[in-house]
Amino acid sequence: PARLPELRAPCIMAVPMECHCLGPAEIPQTTKLYATFLEDFGRLAEFYSHPPTEEGLLRAARAVPPDAEKRRAVAELLREQNRTLGADGETESNIARLAAGAVAVVTGQQVGLFTGPAYSIYKALTALRIAQQLTERGTDAVPVFWLAAEDHDLAEVNHCDWPGREGLAQLEISPADAAGKARSVGRVQLGEGILPLVERAAAQLEGPMAEEIGAA
């Protein structure tokens, strides 16, 4: 489980990322079922227990059945994994809350270079915010973000489009910089060739958190 980040002033870039608000039906390849679920839930209400609203999330969270044994098992796995990754005290606290009965707000994403698509960050922030809202309304909740690391298609995730002062630049790991390409991408070890990419990406960061993000 992740921790809620401190809210700070937005970053200001010379060439900012373009932000547009799109309805579900406007997103390319969106299915009619998905768009209807979000925009006209009444037509599908007989097939789903809860609507995609804050009230629906709250009712769904309150309906989660208790299973102490399963919670303890999941918490132990999360504790082991997160300690391996250097988790801090707040993450440990979230895992303890999960074991004690908190519900989990779960999302995730396929692993990718420098977190992959921007919506990976948006998904994580959404889980953090929903968990906070549920907790504030009396149902203890913690965010859990899973990483789909078992995919073997390295070529699908070895690059990313990185915003910079002169627009988007594609950063890509060369085949020579990724040992063990036949294994799942979560086990691929990056060579020293990744360091110039890290420096290039960090140099393009701007705003009050640029140094902190670059160091991470």
In this prediction, residue 165 carries a pLDDT of: 75
In degrees and rounded to multiples of 5, residue 24 shows phi and psi of -55, -40
pLDDT at 181 over 80: no
pLDDT in tens, 159-171: 888 887 778 888 8
Burial of 102 (0-12, 13-18, 19+ CB in 10 A): buried
What's this model's pTM, rounded to 2 decimal places? 0.78
pLDDT in tens, 86-117: 889 999 999 999 999 999 999 999 888 888 88
Residue 174 is encoded by which pair of tokens?
């060369």
pLDDT at 178 over 70: no
In this prediction, residue 11 carries a pLDDT of: 43
List the single range of 127-131, 134-138, 183-187 with lowest mean pLDDT. 183-187
Q: How confident is the model at residue 118 (pLDDT cuts 50, 70, 90)?
A: confident
Asked whether the beta carbons of 132 and 94 are under 8 A apart, the reply is: no
Going by C-alpha positions, the residue among 118, 59, 100, 81 that lies closest to residue 2 is 81
pLDDT in tens, 28-63: 889 999 999 999 999 999 999 999 999 999 999 999
C-alpha span between 50 and 17 (Å, rounded): 34
For the ranges 131-140, 169-178, 202-211, the maximum mean pLDDT occurs at: 131-140
How many residues appear in the chain?
216
pLDDT at 16 over 60: no
Going by C-alpha positions, the residue among 142, 62, 75 that lies closest to residue 102 is 142
